[in-house]
Structure 1
Amino acid sequence: MRRTASPLSLIMLGFGTFLLVLAPLLVWYVHPRAAVNPIDIDTTAVYNGRGSVFDLDRVETVSDQAITVTQRVRGNVEASVDSGNAVWDVITTVDTEKSLPAADPHDALDFSPHRWVLDRETTKPVHCCEETPRIEGEAYLKFPFDVQKRSYQWWDNTLGDTVVMRYQGTEKVQGYTGYRFTASVPATKTGTRLVPGSLVDEPDRPQVLAEEWYSNHGLELVVDQATGRVIYAQTGPRRTLRAPGGDEDATVLLDAEKLAFTTGTQKEAVRQAKRDSGQLRLLGEVLPVGALVAGFALAVTGGILVARGRKEEERPGLSGTAQ
């Protein structure tokens, strides 16, 4: 009897070839399309700390107050689909114990709504879709995917400009390792505001167009390397008023050396970073390597069995021999 290649060897050869083709597709096609910023994002980050705030009822700055900053980010799905970008609406509120809990965020000590439009793959700002303000730089709210060990231009919305976040090594947050970046902001004029003259040491003038100044004691961010998600954030804002052309602060509106992610915000950010980076690692590393190894083994084994079956088929049979 003559033997031919078995169906099993052909299946092994075909499936092995399929896996060898699949491996580079996962790396070069599937993985890049998985590493995109979502359009249906809905997250809330809360910062806590203590500092000085301007009390509107007492018309003076009050020190050693508990301060809570809440940042809510929601994706505008309709605008995102129409534009092809990620359109995120951001509301940031600053509260003291007096204004919390607040049924309406407009009742906060400070209420700041704005819209950020970003490229879904690169995270670079896109200027469309009623973006306010005009955000620039390489990162804001999150870093690009595949964060590198270098400095990044980070948008500071209070400053209205970018600051340089410098890489400072790695740091663990809730047991999870990320890249640490830091920066500081020197005192900078950011605008003007019409206020009573008494607030800027000019009591004889009922209204003065005072200068608004902003500085930051220190910005610190810890970022997930794969996704660019911020898993820890710390900021030290100082906002003041000065008389027109003045060299010194006349009134402190807000001054806190450290406002940082609460433990709950850290844990949730780490949970999402682990989930998303795990999915990216699965598509970009684990599955391609597994497909490559398994495909090579199956293709080689199947090819050997097919070749052996063909050699048996081509070998002359024994004629005239009684069976």
Structure 2
Amino acid sequence: MRRTTSPFSLLCVGLGTFLLVLAGLLAWYVEPRAERTPIDTDTTTVFTGNGSYFDTEEIETVDDQRITITRQVRGDVAESERSGRAVWDVTTSVDTAASLPAADPHDALQWTLERWVTDRRTNRPVHCCGEQPAFEGEAYLKFPFHVEKRTYTWWDNTLGATVPLRFSGTARVQGYEGYRFTGTVAPARTGSRLVPGRLVGRPKQSQVLAEEWYANHGVELVVDPLTGRVLNAAIGPRKTLRAPGSAKDAVVLLDSERIAFTPATQRAQVALAEDDNDRLTLLGTVLPIGAGGLGALLVVAGTVLVVRGRGGRGEPEGQTRPDPDTSPTTLETSTM
């Protein structure tokens, strides 16, 4: 009996096995490692809203003014690759209509430069690489991957502490659905500032070390559930000065019920989230299912062909099967 396994059947089995292994690698190795905070980010988000601020030229608080917050995030690629962390440099500018556009950041109502360092997988803060300021919590510029419907600790850089943000259902941003998280910040002292005494109700004192206080009417973040990218953000900051030991605000430095992402910023954030989701879905679902399904079919088909080939029979070349009717049944004998 001769085995007649065809090369095609072996090819099917081999290719099918390769695709099954590839499907597993994509689903359990490649896709989880693709869920990493990017290091080459370069994005600008803009918040706008109306509110009050202290006009240093008028020496008084002016109301119902346009306020713009511009935040630019740039990844330090070289430092990120060296450390294995996500190292981002963040500049934030708070401007009025008079200071936009600001050629010099010192013309802004407020300007800060910060360096944020996080674990690329968990989004937790990592205290290295020139981090400034040191921060804590689970979320700030983004949330972790695979956002859960629970309370997260959000870092408020003005407060210098974490704030609990509760899951408050879902919301749509530019037609894209995300998880909504909300919270508030009760008034808290955040520092001190030397000001003329008359500014805080102490006219007999030329200079007073006034207390700086901060609160937030409401923080609302809408987040992409898979990537943790912030699709929309709205805040209600209130910054004031108080006389030393006083329980009453004397001067309003900044106050707004709501400053939120502009429609253009929302669209840009949604587009980035959609691109991230498409890439992760391709690596984690579409390609593994396709490769696994095709691989299984090829292995089954190849195995069937192998079994059939091994079950075939063939005759040795140049030989014929003896005819039972003409085969001798007795021994020939000779007579003496």
Q: Is 1:241 equivalent to 2:259 in the alignment?
A: no
Q: Is 1:169 equivalent to 2:160 in the alignment?
A: no
- TM-score scaled by length of structure 2: 0.92
Given residue 229 of structure 1, which amino acid in structure 2 is its aligned partner? R
**CA distance in structure 2 between the aligned counterparts of 1:178 and 1:195, rounded to whole angstroms:** 44
C-alpha distance after superposition, 1:79-125 (max 9, x if no partner): 21222111101111100100011122232111011110001111100
C-alpha distance after superposition, 1:202-238 (max 9, x if no partner): 1111111111111111000000111100000000000
**CA distance in structure 1 between the aligned counterparts of 2:315 and 2:177, rounded to whole angstroms:** 68
Residue number in structure 2 paired with 1:120: 120
Given residue 244 of structure 2, which amino acid in structure 1 is its aligned partner? P
Aligned-residue CA RMSD (Å) = 1.6
Given residue 157 of structure 1, which amino acid in structure 2 is its aligned partner? N
Q: CA deviation at 1:277?
A: 1.2
Q: Which stretch has the larger CA shift, 98-107 or 132-141?
A: 98-107
**CA distance in structure 2 between the aligned counterparts of 1:195 and 1:43, rounded to whole angstroms:** 37
Q: CA deviation at 1:320?
A: 2.2
Residue number in structure 1 paired with 2:100: 100
**CA distance in structure 2 between the aligned counterparts of 1:178 and 1:47, rounded to whole angstroms:** 19
Q: Which stretch has the larger CA shift, 219-228 or 18-27?
A: 18-27
Residue number in structure 2 paired with 1:259: 259
C-alpha distance after superposition, 1:120-145 (max 9, x if no partner): 11110000111111110011110011
Residue number in structure 2 paired with 1:231: 231
After TM superposition, the structure 1 = structure 2 runs for residues 237-316 of structure 1, keeping only pairs within 5 Å, are 237-312=237-312, 315-316=313-314
Q: Is 1:23 equivalent to 2:23 in the alignment?
A: yes
What is the SS of the residue equivalent to 2:271? helix
Given residue 219 of structure 1, which amino acid in structure 2 is its aligned partner? V
**CA distance in structure 2 between the aligned counterparts of 1:247 and 1:233, rounded to whole angstroms:** 30
**CA distance in structure 2 between the aligned counterparts of 1:271 and 1:214, rounded to whole angstroms:** 34
Residue number in structure 2 paired with 1:317: 315
C-alpha distance after superposition, 1:243-301 (max 9, x if no partner): 11110100000000000000000000000000011101111111111122111111111
Residue number in structure 2 paired with 1:32: 32
Q: CA deviation at 1:5?
A: 2.4
Residue number in structure 2 paired with 1:181: 181
After TM superposition, the structure 1 = structure 2 runs for residues 68-147 of structure 1, keeping only pairs within 5 Å, are 68-147=68-147
Q: Report how many residues are paired.
A: 320
**CA distance in structure 2 between the aligned counterparts of 1:298 and 1:168, rounded to whole angstroms:** 48
**CA distance in structure 2 between the aligned counterparts of 1:302 and 1:143, rounded to whole angstroms:** 47
Given residue 43 of structure 1, which amino acid in structure 2 is its aligned partner? T
* Percent identity of equivalent pairs: 61
Unaligned runs of 5+ in 1: none
Q: Which stretch has the larger CA shift, 295-304 or 265-274?
A: 295-304
Residue number in structure 1 paired with 2:214: 214
Given residue 211 of structure 1, which amino acid in structure 2 is its aligned partner? E
Q: CA deviation at 1:78?
A: 2.0
**CA distance in structure 2 between the aligned counterparts of 1:298 and 1:174, rounded to whole angstroms:** 44
**CA distance in structure 2 between the aligned counterparts of 1:105 and 1:19, rounded to whole angstroms:** 56
**CA distance in structure 2 between the aligned counterparts of 1:4 and 1:50, rounded to whole angstroms:** 83
Q: CA deviation at 1:317?
A: 3.1
Unaligned runs of 5+ in 2: 322-336
**CA distance in structure 2 between the aligned counterparts of 1:295 and 1:69, rounded to whole angstroms:** 53
